[in-house]
Amino acid sequence: MEYSGLTIKYPVNRPLTDLDRERQLHQKRKLEVPLIYQLGVIQVDEAGLELVDKYYALKGAMTTVMLVPVAMVLLFLGAVTGFSLTTPGRMVQDWPVLLAMYGMLAPVLWVMNWGFRKESFAYTHYPIRLDRITRMVHVFRLNGTVLSVPWDDIFFCTDTGQGGAWNIRGHVLAEDRVTVLETFALSPTAGKTAHHIMLSFWEMVRGYMEDGPQAAIALAQVLLPIEKERESFAFGFHRMHAVASGESTPLVLVWGFISAVFAPGRWLAMRTSKIPQWPAEVAATFGKAGTPERCPPAAVGKSGERSPLRT
């Protein structure tokens, strides 16, 4: 699971590295690779392309990981406390131990709450809009503000994050064209051996902005119905399970079990989070060709794309 930028901020106010330059993706340079969209498109038409953020596919995993151990510890302490309260003479003997146990739990609860709120009580997703009319890229930041930057001014490159997972990062540079002021990431992440996934997704995005919308429109057969409404429990499960699309049957079955475990946490994270709303000036210049149809939950995971498990 790749949470760079969410749990640990991207390094900024630093110069581009030699590795950044080595892995640069050029807006004007076509790559001869097959196109994929990795179930990461919210809407697409002749005017613009809207992508989901890289955290969306596995949203809910962190919430589950944070809540389950805390619930187990609290149930244990509650049982011990209840036993002491209901057994004559036990509370006088046990209160120092109970007080120490609750005191030790306090920092753990603080960390768990910090991780929990990274997904829950936040935003359902953090969309990225690419506007072909104005040639601008609009990024919905984690704090609810919007970054708007010209497509041609962004320094794109592939990079590795937590666990060595690959992702596509966009660096906003200062006037010196060397200093990184801000960084965002496009939607897909891929395992250590799947760098080609990044190149294929990038070529879909690059081609849309540089060569025309036809290929991306034809490719994105399943659009995520999350622009104006929260996903259902079933849709959330299907979207998480789709991460293993194209893998071997045993791996698909295992990931199905994992998705079922994470699904309640995803539902909770989605229900407690706000749906992002673009500012009027961004919304006014996008989507002039109409709104795409909603896709049914069952459609997710049936595209046949290979979506390697995130690390």
Same domain, 148 and 231: yes
Same domain, 228 and 93: no
Same domain, 183 and 209: yes
6, part of any domain = no
310, part of any domain = no
Same domain, 272 and 173: yes
185, part of any domain = yes
51, part of any domain = yes
Same domain, 79 and 192: no
Query: CA-CA distance, 235 to 151, in Å (whole number)?
Result: 32
Same domain, 48 and 181: yes
Instruction: Determine how many CB atoms are found less than 10 A away from the CB of residue 69.
Output: 12
Q: Which of 118, 139, 164 is the last residue of a domain?
A: 118
> Per DSSP, what are the bridge partners of residue 129?
50, 138
Same domain, 105 and 205: no
- DSSP E strand stretches across the chain: 14-15, 24-25, 41-44, 48-51, 128-131, 136-140, 146-150, 154-160, 166-173, 179-190
199, part of any domain = yes
Query: CA-CA distance, 28 to 16, in Å (whole number)?
Result: 20
| Tens-digit pLDDT string for the chain (311 aa) | 788 899 989 999 999 999 999 999 999 999 999 999 999 999 999 999 999 999 999 999 999 988 877 777 777 777 777 777 777 767 667 777 777 777 877 787 788 888 888 999 999 999 999 999 999 999 999 999 999 999 999 999 999 887 788 999 999 999 999 999 999 999 988 877 788 999 999 999 999 999 999 999 999 999 999 999 999 999 999 999 988 876 778 888 999 999 999 999 999 999 999 999 999 988 887 655 444 443 443 444 443 343 333 32
Phi first, then psi, for residue 19 (nearest 5°) are -70, -40
**Quick one: which of 228, 235, 234 has its CA closest to 274?**
228
Same domain, 168 and 274: yes
Q: Which of 71, 87, 118 is the last residue of a domain?
A: 118
Range of the domain at 275: 14-59+128-299
Which pLDDT value is given to residue 294? 39
309, part of any domain = no
**Quick one: which of 245, 238, 246, 242 has its CA closest to 263?**
238
Phi first, then psi, for residue 25 (nearest 5°) are -110, 115
Provide the domain count of the chain: 2
